[in-house]
A = this chain, B = another copy of it.
Amino acid sequence: MSERRKLTLKDIAKDLGISVSTASRALKAHPDIAQETIQMVKDYAAKHNYVPNIIAVNFRKSRTKNIGLIVPELVHHFFSTVISGSIDEAKKSGYNILVSQSNDFLADEIVACKTMMASSVDGLLISISNETYDGDHILEFIDEGKPVIQFDKILEKLPVPKVIVDDFEGGYSATKHLIDQGCKRIAHIAGRKDVLNACERMKGYKKALNDHQIPFKEEYIRYCESISEEEGEQFMEEFLALPNPPDAVFCITDLVALGVIKALKNKGISIPDQIAIVGFSNWKLAEIVSPSLTSIDQHGYQMGVVAVRMLIQKLEDKNFEIPDTLELKTRLVIRDSSVKVKA
């Protein structure tokens, strides 16, 4: 109904008897413009509720103020935390976040990249899929002069800055915590050997054992393929069948730990007294399961914030050099699944 055409600079100029350029400059308090003129224009603009046409501005500046964000999965506690952080941080500088998901398929990831390119984002944040071993589709952004930052799941060989969690430290502190609880036979259900994050956690695990004179035993190791609850359950059953079963399990992720808990409950084995458990990622479910699950928090929100902040710095100042790798520390969140009552 109120078909009021939007007020433009031209309207202001005409009404005030000045030129469009003066109006434009006055609004940004350009030093060339007289103080009174600036006041006059600003007052007029405020009174008539002038708001610059952002589409025109973006066109003029050839930018969109949109930042692309590609994650493997959107309906996922960790990633939605990251998204939440990036949106909040981007908003502060007037940027928007466009989210897309790869479903952990390379093909979808490539499509997502193309879509982002087509909607002409100013820059890209990406956490790669499990299938991504080559980053040509990502490098295209660089070719177009659009900065890119990788986060969490990264392709190490890509010459693109990275924001990651210190998985090594996380693996170390999870394992050390179990050692501190008096555990001697600590198993590890790991992720795929070709996924970087998983390897780092494994390294942390090994280092912690080593630092405390506990021998590493291959029989206490299993590798997940799909990082599922079912795998956790199955591997735990295998561990229980060993002549000398472990007294603790460090799991690559909370979901796997859930499977482990299920297997132990089925056998009537008490957690943590007989077997202590630590997960990784600190998902919502860690609070929810019983017993509640000790886990490693990855500061997803913070990761989103940091990644966006660096990208925007680069966007606003071409000369800004994004640090090559930024590692966030993890945090051990102790809950019931790992704390042995002191005898």
Contacts and interface: CB of A to CB of B under 8 A. Distances in A.
Interface string A123-158: 000000000000000000001010000000000000
Interface in A73-106: 74-77, 80-81, 83-84, 87, 91, 94, 96-101
Contacts of A77: 75
Given A81-B75, A87-B101, A91-B100, A55 B288 contact: no
A66 B118 contact: no
Instruction: Bin chain A's interface residue count.
Output: 35 or more
Contacts of A96: 66, 98, 119
B62 A59 contact: no
Contact of A54 (B81, B87, B120, B143): B120
A74 B63 CA distance: 27
Contact of A74 (B83, B143, B262): B83
Interface string A29-65: 0000000000000000000000101111011001111
Nearest to A3: B145
Contacts of A63: 55
Interface of A: 1-3, 51, 53-56, 58-59, 62-66, 74-77, 80-81, 83-84, 87, 91, 94, 96-101, 115, 118-120, 143, 145, 258, 262, 265, 284-285, 288-290
